[in-house]
Amino acid sequence: MKTILRFILLLMVSVQWSCEKAIDLKFKNNELKYVIEGIITNEPGTCKVYISETKAFGDDNVFNGISGASVKIETKGNTIVLTEAGKGIYETAAINGTPGETYNLTVNINGELFKASSTMPQVVPFMDFTLKPKDFDTTRVTPMVKFKDPLETKNYYWFQQLVNDKIQKHYEVMNDEFTPGQEVNDYLVFENDTKNKALNFKKGDKLTAIMHCVDPAVYTYLFSLFGANGSDNGAAPSNPLTNISGGALGFFSAHTVQEKTLIIP
């Protein structure tokens, strides 16, 4: 069996959608921290960095963007300065992410320096996304994803999930510890775990899976984010394992993007 975990991403940055919310982790003495979440993809011109600050408990959950930061990305000896497109949202169309390339992020916020590095993995083809009638009911749908894991490299995967083009709080990460070089057929879980029946699934609903190939540090961050919310055994929450140095929360990821959609029959 592969290593796999389903959990909730508190601040989601996707390729075509962004959900701008305040991250809600527990800190000693309610300490406030910067949150940096950056992505570069293999889609032309997709490079964004979101910078915000955590909020005190009880505050609203609106994205608390930080303006005036200096944000730079260096690759192959070239340095690109990102432009602030909105409060706390920095972007550039000058970077076309390339598998195999390493990208180095530097963020300066009022003299505080934060750095991160990410290497974009090679594309692993997303072969299929299917649903059998027996895998559908009104509160839970489990379509299957299919891809062929390359034998020659260690690989890490992140699947984002959307219902009718709306990003879901649940997502899934996988690695190939027990499936190197094998064809992988596994289920995603789309679930309405609320009491709102309006969110139940019905025929004609559109399900979308976005497959990302990510580097080991990003996989570790996404996997460890589950622990930041605590666990069923009552263990105290802890911060996820960021790949950003300098004391900020969040992650910086250069990853590939592939998308497939199906309609519930």
- What lies within 8 Å, CB to CB, of 108 at 6+ separation is 69, 70, 71, 114
- What lies within 8 Å, CB to CB, of 197 at 6+ separation is none
Q: What is the pLDDT of residue 30?
A: 58
Q: What is the pLDDT of residue 59?
A: 60
* Domain boundaries along the sequence of the chain: 9-121+230-255, 126-214+259-263
Distance, in Å, from the CA atom of 67 to the CA atom of 50, rounded to the nearest integer, reads 10
- Residue 165 to residues 17, 43, 142: CA-CA distances in angstroms? 9, 19, 17
**Residue 11: is its pLDDT beyond 70?**
no
pLDDT, tens digit, 9 for 90 and up, residues 134-177:
999 999 999 999 999 999 999 999 999 999 999 998 999 999 99
Q: What is the pLDDT of residue 238?
A: 63
Report phi then psi at 158, rounded to 5.
-135, 120
What is the reported pTM? 0.86
Mean pLDDT over residues 236-253, rounded?
87
Bridge pairing between strands 34-41 and 70-75: unpaired
Q: Which CATH superfamily is domain 126-214+259-263 in?
A: Immunoglobulins (2.60.40.10)
**Residue 230: is its pLDDT beyond 80?**
no
